[in-house]
Chain A
Amino acid sequence: MAGAGTLREALRALLPPTKEELTLQLGETVERSVVRLLREAVELFCGGRGDECLQASEAILDYSWEKLNTGPWRDVHRDWRRVYAFGCLLKAVCLCEETGDAGAVAAALRVCDMGLLMGAAILGDILTKVAAVLQAHLPSGKRPAPGPAQEQPHEKRRNLRPQDSNLLRSLSWEVVGKFRHSPSEDIAGTEWQRGNVAHPSCIFLPKARHDHVRIPDVRSERTVPRLRCPSLQHFRKHFLVPGRPVILEGVADQWPCMKKWSLEYIQDVAGCRTVPVEVGSRYTDEEWSQTLMTVNEFISKYIRDEIPELKRDISIPDYCCLGDGDEEEITINAWFGPQGTVSPLHQDPQQNFLAQVTGRKYIRLYSPQESEALYPHDTHLLHNTSQVDVENPDLEKFPKFAEAPFLSCILCPGEILFIPVKYWHYVRALDLSFSVSFWWS
Chain B
Amino acid sequence: MAEERRGSWFGFGFCGFGQALGSGRGRQVHSPEPLQTPGEDADVCRVSASWSYTAFVTRGGRLELSGSAGCAAGGCRDAWASEALLVVLRAGPGRGAGTELQAWAPGSALSGEPLWAHTVGPEAEGEDAPGGEPQAGALPLLPGARAYVSPRPPFYSPLAPELRARRLELGAEHALLLDEAGQVFSWGQGRHGQLGHGTLEAELEPRPLEALQGVPMAEVAAGGWHSVCVSETGDIYIWGWNESGQLALPSRSLAEVGKTAAGEASGPKEDGSDVRTAEGESGGLAPFIAIQPFPALLDLPPGTDAVKASCGSRHTAVVTRTGELYTWGWGKYGQLGHEDTSSLDRPRRVEYFVDKRLQVRAVSCGPWNTYVYAVEKAEG
Give A contacts to B, CB under 8 Å: 31-34, 36-37, 55-56, 58-59, 62-63, 66, 69-72, 181-190, 193, 195-196, 279, 289, 291, 300-301, 379-381
Chain A contacts of B27 at CB under 8 A? Answer: 55, 59
A sample of 5 cross-chain residue pairs with beta-carbon separation below 8 angstroms, ordered by A number, consists of: A71-B189, A185-B291, A186-B287, A186-B289, A188-B289
Query: CA of A294 to CA of B191 in the docked complex: distance in angstroms?
Result: 28
Q: Is B110 an interface residue (CB 8 A)?
A: no
Of B172, B253, B332, which one neighbours A70 at CB under 8 angstroms?
Answer: B172
Is the CB–CB distance between B292 and A379 below 8 Å?
no
Give the contact stretch, choosing among B5-13, B95-103, B116-124, B193-201: B193-201
Chain A contacts of B289 at CB under 8 A? Answer: 186-188
A381 shortest CB reach to chain B, Å: 6
Task: State whether A31 and B16 are in contact (beta carbons under 8 Å apart), knowing that A186-B291, A279-B274 are contacts in the complex.
Answer: no
A274 shortest CB reach to chain B, Å: 15
Chain A contacts of B106 at CB under 8 A? Answer: 32-33
In order of increasing CB-CB distance, the 9 nearest A-B pairs are A33-B52, A31-B83, A70-B172, A33-B68, A187-B291, A188-B289, A188-B292, A186-B290, A185-B290
Chain A contacts of B288 at CB under 8 A? Answer: 184, 186
Q: Is B104 an interface residue (CB 8 A)?
A: no
Query: CA of A245 to CA of B244 in the docked complex: distance in angstroms?
Result: 46
Of B200, B224, B276, which one neighbours A379 at CB under 8 angstroms?
Answer: B200
A32 shortest CB reach to chain B, Å: 6
Is the CB–CB distance between A188 and B51 below 8 Å?
no
B356 shortest CB reach to chain A, Å: 29
Chain B contacts of A36 at CB under 8 A? Answer: 68
Chain B contacts of A195 at CB under 8 A? Answer: 191
Chain A contacts of B200 at CB under 8 A? Answer: 193, 379, 381
Of A66, A182, A301, which one neighbours B271 at CB under 8 angstroms?
Answer: A301
Is the CB–CB distance between B189 and A33 below 8 Å?
no
A208 shortest CB reach to chain B, Å: 9
Of A58, A66, A301, which one neighbours B272 at CB under 8 angstroms?
Answer: A301
Task: State whether A33 and B201 are in contact (beta carbons under 8 Å apart), knowing that A59-B16, A182-B243, A190-B294 are contacts in the complex.
Answer: no
Query: CA of A248 to CA of B336 in the docked complex: distance in angstroms?
Result: 60
Chain A contacts of B253 at CB under 8 A? Answer: 182-183
Query: CA of A63 to CA of B68 in the docked complex: distance in angstroms?
Result: 15
Chain A contacts of B173 at CB under 8 A? Answer: 70-71
Of A33, A188, A279, A380, which one neighbours B293 at CB under 8 angstroms?
Answer: A188
Q: Is B296 an interface residue (CB 8 A)?
A: yes
Q: Is B361 an interface residue (CB 8 A)?
A: no
- If A55-B16, A55-B27 are given as contacts, then 17 extra A-B residue pairs at C-beta distance below 8 Å, sorted by A number, are A31-B52, A32-B106, A33-B52, A36-B68, A37-B52, A70-B172, A182-B243, A184-B252, A184-B290, A185-B290, A186-B252, A187-B290, A190-B199, A193-B199, A379-B199, A380-B201, A381-B191
Query: Could you tell me which residues of chain B, from 222 to 236, have a CB within 8 Å of some CB in chain A?
Result: 224-225
Query: CA of A37 to CA of B25 in the docked complex: distance in angstroms?
Result: 17
Q: Is B17 an interface residue (CB 8 A)?
A: yes
Q: Is B114 an interface residue (CB 8 A)?
A: no
Which residue of chain B has the shortest Cβ distance to A196 in the bound complex? Answer: B191
Is the CB–CB distance between A66 and B290 below 8 Å?
no
Chain B contacts of A70 at CB under 8 A? Answer: 172-173, 224
Is the CB–CB distance between B51 and A187 below 8 Å?
no
Q: Is B84 an interface residue (CB 8 A)?
A: yes
Query: CA of A188 to CA of B193 in the docked complex: distance in angstroms?
Result: 10
Is the CB–CB distance between A188 and B296 below 8 Å?
yes
B109 shortest CB reach to chain A, Å: 13
Is the CB–CB distance between A190 and B51 below 8 Å?
no
Is the CB–CB distance between A187 and B16 below 8 Å?
no
A299 shortest CB reach to chain B, Å: 12
Query: CA of A291 to CA of B288 in the docked complex: distance in angstroms?
Result: 14
Q: Is B48 an interface residue (CB 8 A)?
A: no
Is the CB–CB distance between B291 and A33 below 8 Å?
no
Q: Is B313 an interface residue (CB 8 A)?
A: yes
Query: CA of A434 to CA of B29 in the docked complex: distance in angstroms?
Result: 51
Q: Is B107 an interface residue (CB 8 A)?
A: yes
Query: CA of A416 to CA of B288 in the docked complex: distance in angstroms?
Result: 41
Is the CB–CB distance between B243 and A181 below 8 Å?
yes
Which residue of chain A has the shortest Cβ distance to B53 in the bound complex? Answer: A33
Chain A contacts of B84 at CB under 8 A? Answer: 31
B107 shortest CB reach to chain A, Å: 6
Is the CB–CB distance between B272 and A189 below 8 Å?
no
Which residue of chain A has the shortest Cβ distance to B288 in the bound complex? Answer: A186
Is the CB–CB distance between A33 and B17 below 8 Å?
yes
Query: CA of A189 to CA of B27 in the docked complex: distance in angstroms?
Result: 40
Task: State whether A66 and B224 are in contact (beta carbons under 8 Å apart), knowing that A33-B17, A188-B293 are contacts in the complex.
Answer: yes
Chain B contacts of A32 at CB under 8 A? Answer: 68, 106-107
Is the CB–CB distance between B16 and A37 below 8 Å?
yes
Chain A contacts of B293 at CB under 8 A? Answer: 187-190
B211 shortest CB reach to chain A, Å: 11
Which residue of chain B has the shortest Cβ distance to A293 in the bound complex? Answer: B274
Query: CA of A33 to CA of B151 in the docked complex: distance in angstroms?
Result: 15
Chain B contacts of A300 at CB under 8 A? Answer: 271
Query: CA of A426 to CA of B68 in the docked complex: distance in angstroms?
Result: 54
Is the CB–CB distance between B51 and A63 below 8 Å?
yes
Query: CA of A291 to CA of B293 in the docked complex: distance in angstroms?
Result: 21
Chain A contacts of B252 at CB under 8 A? Answer: 183-184, 186
Query: CA of A182 to CA of B243 in the docked complex: distance in angstroms?
Result: 8
Query: CA of A221 to CA of B224 in the docked complex: distance in angstroms?
Result: 52
Is the CB–CB distance between A188 and B243 below 8 Å?
no
Query: CA of A406 to CA of B189 in the docked complex: distance in angstroms?
Result: 37
Chain A contacts of B191 at CB under 8 A? Answer: 72, 195-196, 381
Which residue of chain A has the shortest Cβ distance to B367 in the bound complex? Answer: A66
A53 shortest CB reach to chain B, Å: 12
